[in-house]
A and B are shown apart, each in its own frame.
Chain A
Amino acid sequence: MFELFAQADATAAGFGQYLLLGLVLGSLYALIALGYTMVYGIIELINFAHGDLFMLGTFFALGAATAVGATTADAGTGTIVLGLALMLVGTPLFCAGLNVATDRAIYKPLRRSPKLTVIVSAIGVSFIFMNLGLFWRGATPVKFPDLIPDTNLLGGAGSVRFTLKDAMVLGVTVPVMIALTVFVKLTPLGKAMRATAQNPTAAVLMGINVDRVIAVTFAIGGALAGVASVVYGLYIKSADYQMGFQNGLYAFTAAVLGGIGNIPGAVLGGLVIGVVGELGKAYLGAKWSEALIFGILIVILLFRPTGLLGARTREKV
């Protein structure tokens, strides 16, 4: 017989390592998933172009790092800090701007159209983004600057490695998610956003400028994808024009898993997808982990269609 599944490092330390990796990757998926879930919550659009926006963000970050000369870890601390700052400020702005412009130009005229019309437009945008990525950096994967060293923060004794890179990912993603939660829960604009998601008609009647809320939603979703793309580039150290597809699907699965339209749900979904993906890679083999993720998506949808944290609402007839 042929060997179907991979052999895993079955020790407790091995398990801990996979769990940690999964949580780190999961927090990345969560950032992308938030963009899906917020847009869906407001206008019920499955934004198929979101993953490709993330891809363009990575290319932009790569361009920013190259522009200031931060291409290797030996570039000098000042240059690296400048490069990181430029990436972390510029990329979210770039992605937010692009996302808002896309909404203005393409989705906004279709607000009254049936869902399928808008989804097909989003597929069209996804194709265009992918092609732009192809022109930008070519068809083969490009190296992303390896700016953060792989220093192990847990010391040599323990066999679980927690590197500076892992810390960087969590150090960026966790505060961003906290800031988002604070924004949505506590600010007037966040309140308007929640109101619009719940009932657009009532929101309009209460004097909320729904168009503005939608634009802000696209801006925030895009900015989160931008942050995720910088962190992803620094963590994975490689980028190609098709990476938006796979990561977009994972993030999208995460959004659905948590309950699409639900912000804490997207974070939970992202973490679950990250952990399941890594454990699947370890115990079933890399080639089965993708199938496992989408299998879980189907099972969740069948037994709890509103996701892990979604409210149980009956869809109106």
Chain B
Amino acid sequence: MTAVGRYWVPGLFAALFAYPFLPVAEANRGEQFTILFVYALLALALNVVIGYAGLLHLGIAAFFGIGAYTVGILTVPFFPFQQSFLVAALAAVLVSALVGIAATAPTLRLRGDYFALVTLGFGLITLYAIRNLDAITEGTKGLNPIAAGPLPGVKENVDLSALKVGDDWGARWYKYPYLYFVILSALGGVMLLLRNLERSRLGRAWVALREDELAATCMGLNPARLKLAAVAVGAGLAGLAGAFYALALRTTGNPQAYDFTLSMIMVCCVILGGLGNRPGVLLGTLLLMGFDRIATNLLDNWLQEEFDLGGGAYTKVSGWKLIIFGTVLIVMMRFRPEGLLPEARHARELRESDDQAVDSGQKEK
């Protein structure tokens, strides 16, 4: 591995930590970056299930939503609980993980596509429940304001304006400038945690299971328990991402934020970056979601200023967003299915499957 390959992730984190102190920093951009970090966390969570354990999960948005609404219910004035964010986030992780286990346990004997379908159904049902139980979730308004500070015992705003260097950093952003750092740190922490998890007994067992379930079983691994563990870890992390999402927006927002499209886009992020490879997943999410949330708007503004194209949908980059997304996915799958930064083992596997006969390979995959 080259030096760039080895150091770009720590370098990226250092740059992101430094960003708010640079003269070019804008509070607006900081907010957008914070949301990107949340999605990166969610993609890493999904990567545990799809990348490590090899289970195609199409309902990760459900756990994202469960995490967000757990925090909402435990912190907003609408309910009597009024916990701090730290307690609420811990609860979000636990609740998501437990729901993940409870929803997955009955499905363990299903294989491949059927498992994916059950997770799809689960994701949709969770979304409908969030949308329909508006007496609890406040429907499209969302639960707000989520005011509790992220530190233990801190419920009010902490004035960190002394830290600000950029123009309005901290003045806007609902006076919570430190969320950027909190969520970025959490992302870094999860990256480290997952690195250790990959190398642990559990992580290696997942890989064995993913590569060949029969062989892994013969070696004395318990597939059911391993799959449950993967879903529990993935769901717990997705719940954490949801908790941070609610915190960053200060509301649980519109239930649409937790729909099937999000699950799909997260699968795309993971596969685009490189299934099973943490830095790849991080890169894939930053590129895809960064394009979605930031680059299209920038390009649109620039195009309008330079050329004044009028208002039609196809004069805007954002109007072409889905076509660009779709084309990127198709081209990637055709020419580089292992992702931008492939995991070594997964890349080898894909190359080998090219050599197999058409028909024998197909039905058994």
- A binding-site residues for B, Cβ under 8 Å: 2, 43-44, 46, 106, 109-121, 123-128, 130-132, 134-135, 138-139, 199-201, 204, 245, 249, 253, 256, 260, 287-288, 290-291, 294-295, 297-298, 301-302, 305, 315-317
Contact = CB atoms under 8 A, between A and B. Distances in A.
Nearest to B312: A135
A131 B319 CA distance: 8
B132 to A, nearest CB: 5
B363 A44 contact: yes
Interface string B113-124: 110111001101
Given A44-B362, A125-B326, A302-B107, A120 B268 contact: yes
Contact of B321 (A46, A116, A131, A290): A131
A112 B322 contact: no
B353 A287 contact: no
A116 B271 contact: yes
Nearest to A46: B113
Nearest to B337: A117
A301 to B, nearest CB: 5
A-B pairs with lowest CB-CB distance, top 4: A124-B329, A127-B326, A131-B322, A128-B326
B330 A294 contact: no
Given A121-B330, A290-B124, A201 B322 contact: no
A134 B319 contact: yes
Nearest to A48: B264
A115 B363 CA distance: 9
Main secondary structure of the interface of B (DSSP, over half): helix
B362 A200 contact: yes
Contacts of B332: 120
A9 B99 CA distance: 36
Given A128-B322, A131-B323, A317-B214, A295 B121 contact: yes
Interface of B: 56, 106-107, 110-114, 116-118, 121-122, 124-125, 128-129, 131-132, 135, 213-214, 260, 264, 267-268, 271, 275, 313-314, 319-323, 325-330, 332-334, 337, 350, 353-354, 356-365
Contact of B356 (A112, A115, A124): A112
A317 B213 contact: yes
Contact of A113 (B131, B314, B323, B333): B333
Contacts of A134: 313, 319, 322
19 contacts: A44-B362, A44-B363, A109-B334, A111-B358, A112-B358, A113-B337, A113-B353, A115-B113, A123-B329, A127-B326, A128-B323, A128-B327, A130-B322, A134-B319, A139-B313, A287-B128, A291-B125, A301-B110, A301-B114
A124 B125 contact: no
Contact of B124 (A116, A199, A294, A317): A294
For B112, B122, B359, B365, the residue with the greatest tally of chain A CB atoms inside 10 Å of its CB is: B359
Contact of A127 (B114, B275, B325): B325
Nearest to A315: B111
Contacts of A298: 118, 121-122, 125
Nearest to A204: B359
Given A112-B353, A131-B323, A201-B360, A124 B330 contact: yes
B128 A288 contact: yes
Contacts of A116: 56, 271, 275
B132 A288 contact: yes
Contact of A112 (B124, B271, B361): B361
A115 B329 CA distance: 14
B131 to A, nearest CB: 7
B81 to A, nearest CB: 20
A196 to B, nearest CB: 10
A287 B128 CA distance: 8
A125 B333 CA distance: 12
Contacts of B360: 201
B37 to A, nearest CB: 24
Contacts of A127: 322-323, 325-326, 329
A113 B124 CA distance: 29
A210 to B, nearest CB: 8
Nearest to B54: A116
Given A127-B322, A139-B313, A110 B334 contact: yes
Contacts of A125: 326, 330
Contacts of B214: 317
Nearest to A296: B121
A297 B337 CA distance: 31
A46 B354 CA distance: 21
For B125, B275, B360, B361, the residue with the greatest tally of chain A CB atoms inside 10 Å of its CB is: B125
A134 B314 CA distance: 9
Contacts of B124: 249, 290-291, 294
Given A116-B271, A256-B117, A294-B124, A305 B350 contact: no
A315 B109 CA distance: 11
Contacts of B354: 112-113
A106 B325 CA distance: 15
A294 B125 contact: yes
B164 to A, nearest CB: 39
A119 B328 CA distance: 14
Contacts of B350: 113-114, 117
Contacts of A115: 112-113, 365
Nearest to B272: A120
B314 A114 contact: no
